[in-house]
Structure 1
Amino acid sequence: MSDVAPDPWGVLRNATRARVALGRAGDGLPTARELEFRAAHAAARDAVHTALDGDRVRAALTAAGVGLDVLEVHSAAPDRGTYLQRPDLGRRLADGTTLPGGTCDLALVIADGLSPRAVHEHAAGTVAAVLDRLPGWSVAPLVLAHQARVALGDPVGAALGAAIVVVLVGERPGLSSADSLGLYLTHDPRPGRADSERNCISNVRPPHGLGYAQAADTLVALLQAARQLGASGVVLKDEGIALPSGG
């Protein structure tokens, strides 16, 4: 029989990825908790500085059964260091960027954001789940964006003639989530749109966050409501099946 008393906080810790009930060793953390903290911090730093691998994303999309063409673009930030220091450049397309015009119901932009790791791991599954739920919608070629912020979707969506753009972006890593994917929806995308004109679904990262099916169900409900309402953002509320029909 062990003389070590069971940890009364173990059940709580096992139920969440949050850093709770870490304990104490003198004036500091127990060694195991300190090492976990350092590992989590290193993972977050690695996620921010990892380069987006376009070939890996394309292969994942193919494996997930996504048959859309994929276009690649770059923001006005020439490298990762500049991107991190100049958020404004990540919101603008690089000079000389051309995209095929036309009209469509939806454009999907896969953006590296602050966690390319999240894109590598979760973008393909999310895109496949969304497209499966949108029969009859015309969808532009997928756009894979390097050194991109959320607002880069505005000029991309406008250039593609999309009624709505959804940006799938790697979110800022935390100490419990270095691979979180966010989905940002903007109706009638064009340069100059404000963040208040977008809707966000955050923390897509099964099994510790939203699953692909749940995220896709929520996004498609918002897409349908945005098309009916003719707007997105603060006027469009996420209320499940009770999404607004207008007014």
Structure 2
Amino acid sequence: MSPDLPSAHTQPPAPDPWSGLRAFTAARIALGRVGTSVPLQEALAFRLAHAAARDAVYSALEVEKLTTGLAQLSVRVCVVRSQAENRPQYLQRPDLGRRLHPASRELLLGHSMAPSDVAVILADGLSAAAVQQHALPVLQLLLPKLQAAGFRLAPVVVAEQARVAISDEIGQVLQAQLALILIGERPGLSSPHSLGAYFTYGPRPGLTDEARNCVSNIRPEGLSYALAADKLFFLLQEALRRQLSGVLLKDEMGLLDA
């Protein structure tokens, strides 16, 4: 081989056309490869992300810490649980996570003194870590907006082993026109602590998902606390004004600002 000709082994690799996209997404793209597999660093990162997602599913609410934070917002707080007795049962029996435990229902009835406009619920869902990290920062921005607008607030409810639909029963018991639940979303491999917000007008057991509105991916890496609070405030006002929620209620906040 001529010394003037570079060896194929010394030529720099061609640039990866996907690599520039990694600056815009946490999705697993442009991972590279070693032989027929991904590089060791990427394989280990995948296993770490999978472990974080599993940990989020089995995480538990720090109820005392959460209620202490809520007390600093000058709101009444009530702690309840669903009919699921423990985490394994909660994961295996979604139906039990949608209904209040009878003792918790009786407890809430004692707090239902007068009709309200909004019942706010914090629930562990599939990532208690998400609620622990993000729920209070959202409420710090949202509750003053609701109070300034004249919304009558029911006591804030902290619900353990709870699914989204438990908000329907809680809202009905508290005589609320709207039930808003902040709940840990199903963990992803790039988002083990994403918070979702669901609300329903005229809450009552038996409603299905088309009756709800959702604002999802609330976290610093996704939808910011400030924007989430603004969206929820706009949608809750519209739901109360139009007396509906779900597929008939659209997020038109951006259209009004244009």
TM over 0.5: yes
Residue 68 of structure 1 aligns with an amino acid whose one-letter code is V
Deviation, 1:14, is 2.8
For 1:155 and 1:203, locate their aligned partners in 2 and report how far apart those are by CA, in whole Å: 25
Mapped contact 2:70–2:77 kept (Cα < 8 A): no
For 1:59 and 1:22, locate their aligned partners in 2 and report how far apart those are by CA, in whole Å: 43
Render the CA deviation track for 1:123-168: whole Å, top value 9, x for unaligned: 1011111112211111111100000000000110111111101010
Residue 71 of structure 1 aligns with an amino acid whose one-letter code is C
Deviation, 1:59, is 3.4
Question: Matched residues, percent identical?
Answer: 50
Mapped contact 2:178–2:201 kept (Cα < 8 A): yes
Unaligned runs of 5+ in 2: 1-10
Aligned length: 238
Render the CA deviation track for 1:93-152: whole Å, top value 9, x for unaligned: 012222111211101000100000100100101111111221111111110000000000
Is it true that 1:19 corresponds to 2:36 in the alignment?
A: no
Is it true that 1:220 corresponds to 2:233 in the alignment?
A: yes
For 2:177 and 2:136, locate their aligned partners in 1 and report how far apart those are by CA, in whole Å: 22
Residue 73 of structure 1 aligns with an amino acid whose one-letter code is V
Question: Relative to 1, partners in 2 of residues 1:241 and 1:33: Cα closer, same or farther, differing over 3 Å?
Answer: closer
Corresponding position of 1:163: 177
Mapped contact 1:112–1:147 kept (Cα < 8 A): yes
Corresponding position of 1:47: 56
Render the CA deviation track for 1:16-71: whole Å, top value 9, x for unaligned: 21111111111111011101100000000000001111012123435xx5111211
> Please, which of 188, 202, 205 is the counterpart of residue 188 of structure 1?
202
Task: State the secondary structure of the residue aligned to 2:134.
Answer: helix
> Please, which of 133, 140, 158 is the counterpart of residue 144 of structure 1?
158
Mapped contact 1:221–1:241 kept (Cα < 8 A): no
Mapped contact 2:122–2:181 kept (Cα < 8 A): yes
Q: TM-score, normalised by structure 1?
A: 0.91
Deviation, 1:9, is 4.3
Is it true that 1:58 corresponds to 2:67 in the alignment?
A: yes
For 2:49 and 2:103, locate their aligned partners in 1 and report how far apart those are by CA, in whole Å: 39
Residue 78 of structure 2 aligns with an amino acid whose one-letter code is L
Task: State the secondary structure of the residue aligned to 2:102.
Answer: coil
Q: TM-score, normalised by structure 2?
A: 0.88
Question: Relative to 1, partners in 2 of residues 1:49 and 1:230: Cα closer, same or farther, differing over 3 Å?
Answer: same
Deviation, 1:240, is 1.5
Corresponding position of 2:186: 172
Task: State the secondary structure of the residue aligned to 1:217.
Answer: helix
For 1:229 and 1:103, locate their aligned partners in 2 and report how far apart those are by CA, in whole Å: 18
Over 3 Å off, 4+ runs: 3-11, 59-62
> Please, which of 75, 80, 85 is the counterpart of residue 73 of structure 1?
80
Corresponding position of 2:216: 202
RMSD of equivalent CA atoms: 1.7
